[in-house]
Amino acid sequence: MESETRAGMGISKRAFLRGAGVLVAGEVLARKVPAWRSSSGGPPDRKVIVTIFGGVRRKETFSAAGLQNIPHLAHDLLPQALFYNDVRNEGTTAHFNAISSILTGTWQRVGDWGELSPSSPTLFEYFRKQLGVPARSAWIVASNKALTNLIGAGSSRDYGLPYGANVVFPKQLMVSAVEEAIQQGKSHDFVDREKALTDLEAMLEGNNYEGLGWTVFDAATQLDPEVRETIRKAITELVDANGPMSGDELTFFVSREIMRKFAPPLLVIAFSDVEAAHFGSYSLHLAGIRNTDRLCYELWQEVKSNQAYSGKTTVAILPEFGRDPDGSSTNGFLNHRSFDPSCRSTWMLMLGDAIGRPQVIERPIRHIDLCPTLAGLLGCLAPDAQGAGLPEFRV
Ligand SMILES: [Zn+2]
């Protein structure tokens, strides 16, 4: 299945995505990264990557019937993982609040659509402030349209934006980059520029599951000429190719580019292809799960082969919540609003040297336990977190 997907994507689309990764990473760095501030204790020698990916039920994942949807997680990664089999979301099962809760270690109720910053400091802020590490050390790359820039830092007075993460929405940046390229491109590149733009926007909006519009933020106007040319050429080829491109695929490429160029010790990746469930298509939801499964495996392969990460990185892979049970009044898998265990109890798979020995933990844990655990691995504290550090880790 996955090999078909890979082969079916084609070389031009791959080239486009690689170009997009370079473009976005370079663009964000040009906008946001201040001069390097060396840390008194030196840079941390441990790295943490957190992959959060929307809502999936146990039924479609770690259950007898669900394993077929997650071949890599179940067969390649689980045997070497620390696996928590009952991870509870006891907060609000909406995307912004769920991810905010994971990142702050406190149950957040700040609005479902990212109108407000998390009310407590995030792991990014604890890490950057306490260890004096620069902005290039903490990133969040997100497909999820229910997030906003405010996910990168909380509103706590002692922390906040100066210690926050670089927040990257690859699709959002691509929309503006594509529009700019088309506006500035030579007309002979496109038989029909309007059609090209329409096609690209349709592709990028493909998983606009929440019905939100992109708020296009000011894409850098100073693009590297070589990158710009790479993108423009690839766009020309891309518009001739039919077939969907996953938003998570783009997010993965951008994340990997950031790893290769900047090697941040703290990287959070928020996928959302599984949220196609909101459209009501079970097959699209399952395709999203399979895509996530493959991208998580590719991420782990990158960690193992990338010298900056190999042997010193802890990876956490977890859903934000489950989804509603079949037959529920909220339409089952489409939504994630019930108080049923199907929506509240999920799992977490962790990889890396710090996990000790592979094992399955049946004891219930909570999403808010992750932040203090990861803070410990990174060498800082999360004093406002309500969760407890997980004892299985060798800190
Ligand atoms: Zn959703």
Give distance in angstroms: CA of 40 to centre of ligand 1: 42
Splitting the chain (395 residues) into consecutive groups of 10 residues, what average pLDDT does each group show? 41 62 62 40 77 97 97 97 97 95 96 88 97 90 84 92 86 64 54 58 53 39 49 52 67 85 93 92 94 97 97 97 89 89 96 93 98 96 96 81
Q: What is the pLDDT of residue 167?
A: 84
Structural contact between residues 52 and 271, judged by C-beta atoms closer than 8 angstroms: yes
Q: How far, in Å, from the CA of 80 to the mean position of ligand 1? A: 30
Check if the beta carbon of residue 320 is closer than 8 Å to that of residue 98. yes
Closest by alpha carbon to 373, among 352, 358, 388? 388
Phi, psi of 290 (to 5 degrees): -65, -40
- Measured CA to CA, the distance from residue 316 to residue 314 in angstroms comes to 7
Task: List, in sequence order, the alpha helices (H) in the chain.
Answer: 2-9, 11-32, 71, 95-104, 123-131, 170-184, 193-204, 225-238, 247-262, 282-305, 341-344, 370-378
CA of 210 relative to ligand 1 center, distance in Å: 7
Backbone phi and psi for residue 167, each to the nearest 5 degrees, phi listed first: -105, 125
d(CA 365, ligand 1 centre) in Å = 22
> Is the separation of the CB atoms in 122 and 70 below 8 Å?
no
Alpha carbon of 145 to ligand 1 centroid (Å): 10
pLDDT score recorded for residue 345: 97
Cα of 146 from ligand 1 centre, angstroms = 8
Q: Please give the Cα distance from 168 to 195 (Å, whole number).
A: 27
CB atoms within 10 A of CB 280: 12
d(CA 353, ligand 1 centre) in Å:
33
User: pTM surpassing 0.75?
Assistant: yes
Ligand 1 centre and the CA of 56: distance in Å? 10
